[in-house]
Homo-oligomer: A and B are copies of this chain.
């Protein structure tokens, strides 16, 4: 294959057909996809075994790749949930009569063709396809080569359901994994309406550099927790330990602890019992280094400048002692990826200042950054966590897979 443009062109044509389906047709298709995924679990497992056979079981991605009967039931159950949630298509966002008498409405409508670029987890294939169909969009999926057999099996099952509903299978297409096609996808503004990259910082950077199509960036989380002098230090230690250790591989886990100089000596040792079971590696600035060394912590390094603003994605973090509230805010402003930022404090004024002045998708007081999550926010199936400011910010779901359209109904009006 020389070019994916013919595939994208078919997706565009298909998007016009999908946009015409009624809400109940869209729900029924997604519900039928859930059933079909369950019925065909042996076919999916067989394809998944081929993928697994190509990967070293010691690879940390191995577990994320594997599908068994339970996991497929989970994917089907997620699809069933998507079929039942309310979708925003057709919502009238504004309605008024213009001075000329024209009837004006602003209506939520599907985006058209949604392109998603992701890495190894095959469940994303079903998630994204069902969310796109439910919201009246066509999807072009560019999954990782690691999971290509699994993805092909899942997409084939979805396409068979589409055919049964007399919808063109072009509405959900899997792109070849050849890298040269990613650039082609990112510049096909004629056929693709939006690109959502889900994956590593490297992928997102590549998309930002090369996309001519509007994108919703997701992912990279460099998250701070600032333990301010008035904080309940025991509660703060619990929050920091949870934010760091509970699931360190995800974007809302903690990367840097900032602590007020006044309480650093008392606070930092309180982290160690919680860090102990996970053997957390600490990159500490000079003052924190001395305190933690005196407290007997072994996995301790002097922080280098690159350890601040670093996303660790493992059982490691950096620590810095700050002399003032403003120094903490300046540090966050400089190094945050604007994903999730937290303060531990009992001072209502400082809490308010933090929540107002810190520029991030989610800001929180006296809670673990791990709470930054679409399902916990009550949004339903999450598409990703946006770290940009336009259209979607923070965890986002189905309600952001639409755009607006102004609809005017006149009776021959002309402009004077």
Give A residues with C-beta under 8 Å from B: 16, 19-20, 96, 98-100, 102, 104, 111-112, 189, 193-194, 208-209, 212, 214, 216, 232, 235, 238-239, 241-243, 246, 333, 351, 355-357, 359-368, 370-372, 376-378, 388-391, 393-395, 403-415
| Nearest chain B residue, comparing its CB with the CB of A390 | B391
Question: Are B357 and A409 in contact, CB atoms less than 8 angstroms apart?
Answer: no
- Secondary structure type dominating chain A contacts: mixed
Question: Are A366 and B16 in contact, CB atoms less than 8 angstroms apart?
Answer: no
When distances are taken between beta carbons in the complex, the residues of chain B under 8 Å from A356 are 19-20
Question: Are B104 and A406 in contact, CB atoms less than 8 angstroms apart?
Answer: no
Question: Are B393 and A403 in contact, CB atoms less than 8 angstroms apart?
Answer: yes
Question: Are B364 and A409 in contact, CB atoms less than 8 angstroms apart?
Answer: yes
Question: Are B246 and A415 in contact, CB atoms less than 8 angstroms apart?
Answer: yes
Question: Are A102 and B371 in contact, CB atoms less than 8 angstroms apart?
Answer: yes
When distances are taken between beta carbons in the complex, the residues of chain B under 8 Å from A388 are 214
Q: A99-B376, A390-B391 are in contact. Are A367 and B410 (CB under 8 A)?
A: yes
When distances are taken between beta carbons in the complex, the residues of chain B under 8 Å from A393 are 403-406
Looking at the assembled complex, report how far the CB atom of A213 sits from the nearest CB atom of chain B, in whole angstroms.
9
Other-chain contact of A357, B16, B189, B246, B370 (Cβ < 8 Å):
B16
| Nearest chain B residue, comparing its CB with the CB of A99 | B376
When distances are taken between beta carbons in the complex, the residues of chain B under 8 Å from A395 are 406
What is the CA–CA distance of A42 and B351 in the complex, to the nearest angstrom? 48
Can you list 6 residue pairs at the A/B interface with Cβ under 8 Å?
Answer: A19-B357, A98-B371, A363-B406, A364-B407, A368-B415, A394-B404
| Nearest chain B residue, comparing its CB with the CB of A238 | B414
What is the CA–CA distance of A378 and B377 in the complex, to the nearest angstrom? 33
When distances are taken between beta carbons in the complex, the residues of chain B under 8 Å from A361 are 404-406
Question: Are B408 and A362 in contact, CB atoms less than 8 angstroms apart?
Answer: yes
Other-chain contact of A366, B20, B209, B242, B412 (Cβ < 8 Å):
B412
When distances are taken between beta carbons in the complex, the residues of chain B under 8 Å from A360 are 405
When distances are taken between beta carbons in the complex, the residues of chain B under 8 Å from A410 are 364-367, 371
Other-chain contact of A355, B20, B112, B407 (Cβ < 8 Å):
B407
Other-chain contact of A378, B96, B208, B407 (Cβ < 8 Å):
B96
Looking at the assembled complex, report how far the CB atom of A174 sits from the nearest CB atom of chain B, in whole angstroms.
23
Other-chain contact of A371, B216, B243, B408 (Cβ < 8 Å):
B408
Question: Are A365 and B214 in contact, CB atoms less than 8 angstroms apart?
Answer: no
Looking at the assembled complex, report how far the CB atom of A86 sits from the nearest CB atom of chain B, in whole angstroms.
14
| Nearest chain B residue, comparing its CB with the CB of A247 | B415
Looking at the assembled complex, report how far the CB atom of A72 sits from the nearest CB atom of chain B, in whole angstroms.
26
Other-chain contact of A377, B193, B403, B406 (Cβ < 8 Å):
B406
Question: Are B214 and A112 in contact, CB atoms less than 8 angstroms apart?
Answer: no
What is the CA–CA distance of A376 and B408 in the complex, to the nearest angstrom? 12
19 additional A-B residue pairs with CB within 8 Å, beyond A214-B390, A351-B409, A368-B415: A16-B333, A16-B357, A19-B357, A98-B376, A100-B376, A102-B367, A104-B377, A194-B390, A238-B414, A243-B414, A361-B405, A363-B408, A366-B413, A367-B414, A371-B413, A390-B403, A391-B391, A393-B404, A393-B406
What is the CA–CA distance of A360 and B193 in the complex, to the nearest angstrom? 12
Question: Are A20 and B403 in contact, CB atoms less than 8 angstroms apart?
Answer: no
9 closest pairs, A vs B, by CB?
A367-B410, A242-B414, A364-B408, A389-B403, A235-B412, A390-B391, A370-B415, A391-B391, A362-B406
| Nearest chain B residue, comparing its CB with the CB of A396 | B404
Question: Are A209 and B209 in contact, CB atoms less than 8 angstroms apart?
Answer: no
| Nearest chain B residue, comparing its CB with the CB of A193 | B389
Question: Are B368 and A98 in contact, CB atoms less than 8 angstroms apart?
Answer: no
Looking at the assembled complex, report how far the CB atom of A258 sits from the nearest CB atom of chain B, in whole angstroms.
18
Q: A394-B406, A412-B238, A413-B371 are in contact. Are A389 and B112 (CB under 8 A)?
A: yes
Other-chain contact of A390, B216, B351, B367 (Cβ < 8 Å):
B216
Question: Are A363 and B407 in contact, CB atoms less than 8 angstroms apart?
Answer: yes
